[in-house]
Amino acid sequence: MKFFTIPWYEEMQVRGFMVFPETEQDWLEDVAWHVAEGISYEERAKDFLEYMKKDLLKYLPVYFHTSIHDGTINSAYPVPEFKERAMQWGREYDERLQSNFREYRKGYEAIKDKLPANAVQLVENNLHDARVISYTMPSEGVLEMILDCGGAMHYQCEIKLTFSGVSGLRLPEPLEKKYWLYDEIYAAEQGFELRVLMDSPPSELRITAQDVSVDILGEPK
């Protein structure tokens, strides 16, 4: 990936972690809800912090590291200075995120007319959160993928992607059950190169092909 890389995605998860309730009362009500549901807020916060700790230390400024190590970053409502610094970091990240999207989009618009029409359809009908069910290569230069788009932004049913004239292929293993997150497409000498950031865990799918078709396999869920 050139734009939507694994580090880019990791930092996006950190951005989500660093969103706090608007007021302390909101935070107290959230804690109270956990108590009412018989859920330990403290244990859930501790587990989530442990899961995110490596990336928090990697992407957040040093100012936040002490609160990461002692667990207070998500176990107590932040004091005003801490919250303001977190919000400032978030605003700066959002600016970088939007700049990234704009730069990719500008490049895409510049090469869109050089791409096969079916490839344009593939990337413009957003497959974010589609899940890979299976894939096969029934013949030389052909790759078929079945995706469950029930939770995706388009189709909301199973679809089959058939890539033809495949000359380059990089498949994360195992590919089954991975989620399609973000894609990038580029013009190739004959056809296009598609790069897809997959999740669970993050990895990259890369396909160079002459064309692709999208077949609907069922009714929207």
Stretch 213-219: mean pLDDT: 88
Residue of 180, 98, 112 whose CA lies nearest to 146:
180
Q: For strand 158-164 and strand 130-139, is the pairing parallel, antiparallel, or unpaired?
A: unpaired
Chain segment 29-44, per-residue pLDDT in tens: 999 999 999 999 999 9
Residue 219 reports pLDDT greater than 90: no
Task: Give the Cα separation of 12 and 125 in Å (integer).
Answer: 22
Q: Which amino acid is present at 55?
A: D
pLDDT at residue 190, as a whole number: 85
Per-residue pLDDT band for 189 (boundaries 50, 70, 90) equals: confident
Query: pTM for the full model?
Result: 0.88
**Domain ranges in the chain?**
6-110, 115-216
Residue 12 reports pLDDT greater than 80: yes
Residue 215 reports pLDDT greater than 90: yes
Q: Which amino acid is present at 13?
A: Q
Residue 53 reports pLDDT greater than 70: yes
pLDDT at residue 67, as a whole number: 97
The contacts of residue 1 (CB under 8 Å, 6+ apart) are 8, 182, 184, 195, 197, 204
Per-residue pLDDT band for 221 (boundaries 50, 70, 90) equals: low
Chain segment 64-76, per-residue pLDDT in tens: 999 999 999 999 9
pLDDT at residue 213, as a whole number: 96
pLDDT at residue 169, as a whole number: 95
Chain segment 104-126, per-residue pLDDT in tens: 999 999 999 999 999 999 999 99
